[in-house]
Amino acid sequence: MKKYLMKGNEAIAEAAIQAGCRFYFGYPITPSTEIIEYMAQKMQKVGGTFLQAESEIAAIYMVFGAAGAGKRVMTASSSIGISLKQEGISFLAANELPAVIVNIMRTGPGLGGLGPSQADYFQAVKGGGHGDYRLIVLAPSSVQEMADLIMDGFDLADLHRNPVMILADGILGQMMEPVVFHNRKPIEVDKSWATTGAKDRPRNMITSYNLQNEAGEAKALYLENKYKGIKEREQRWEVYRMEDAEYVFVAYGTSARIVKGVVDTLREEDHKVGLIRPITLWPFPEKAFTPIIQKVKGYMVVEMSAGQMVEDVKLNVNGAAPVAFYSRQGGITPQHDEMKEKFYQSFDVRGMRI
């Protein structure tokens, strides 16, 4: 199939169009701006609607309106902009409205900087808005996956009537790699719930307001059960050189790309190491750890943050083996030699051989 050399942000935008997205609302912010630029050029040509909103807050409620009408709709931003959208994201989840939200992460907190970061993990997987809700969170590690996971994201959003977030760092948004588009057809789902006009049918209501506590609890329990189903069905991960691993790195996104090189180097030095790369950050891929929990002697989590995903790894390991942590922050990527040295320090295996 034909390959295109594209930035990750451009691949996201093109994949969204091919996935049937015909509504895009957003506001420019580095390092995600190529997405809105691409949509501004292409959306009208495919019969869609593009609008640069006056703010990120306005954009997310425009998404709410299009999603409520049953349309495939997307918005994108970076860190600070996603923070502004949190109330609207909570409303989308509460009303079970399918939409795709892209966060090309920059550093923080506050204004931070324009370098790559993975410090929005908590915000994405723990719920940055109010109330008990979940987003399906997909974490690509290549430009090809930026395209593929957008396709998956729209399908998952429709299938589960739930917002989906694509969480990627600034390197993945800006780097260029070959990408193939697979001409996938969107899944077809019943959207009889949508607010498309009530001629010849009862009207549909989209609301999350509950004045009776009993009704509020019933809705909360319904959503909780729905999320349990998603957690069981949708866990995704990649394993790398895990066939006999005694020590396991855990990383996602750009960090995972760098870790693969460290795994290869340590393998050359006769250490049995491997990598688990979560693709779904929520639901976290607990099933990846279950078959190895009694075999692994230690884990090392690598993140471009002060330590966020490491908490979920510790919860899943549950004390069965030590969990070490290595990070770089402020826009600096993990360094190969530093990770290798941290591995030796953490597990006291220097000089040991198979």
Asked whether 265 and 336 are in contact (CB, 8 A), the reply is: yes
pTM of the model: 0.96
273-278 and 237-240 as β-strands: parallel, antiparallel, unpaired?
Answer: antiparallel
The owner of tokens 């950050």 is 281
Instruction: Indicate the helix (H) or strand (E) that contains 39.
Output: helix 33-42
Confidence band, pLDDT 50/70/90 cuts, at residue 353? very low
Residue length of the chain: 354
- In this structure, the dihedral spanned by the alpha carbons of residues 116, 147, 165 and 49, taken in order and rounded to 10 degrees, is 110
Residue 170 CA to residue 184 CA, distance in Å, equals 27
- In this structure, the dihedral spanned by the alpha carbons of residues 307, 310, 314 and 320, taken in order and rounded to 10 degrees, is -110
Asked whether 323 and 317 are in contact (CB, 8 A), the reply is: yes
Asked whether 101 and 153 are in contact (CB, 8 A), the reply is: no
Average pLDDT over residues 15-23: 98
pLDDT digits (tens, 9 = 90+) for 219-248: 999 999 999 999 999 999 999 999 999 999
Residue 94 has pLDDT above 60, yes or no: yes
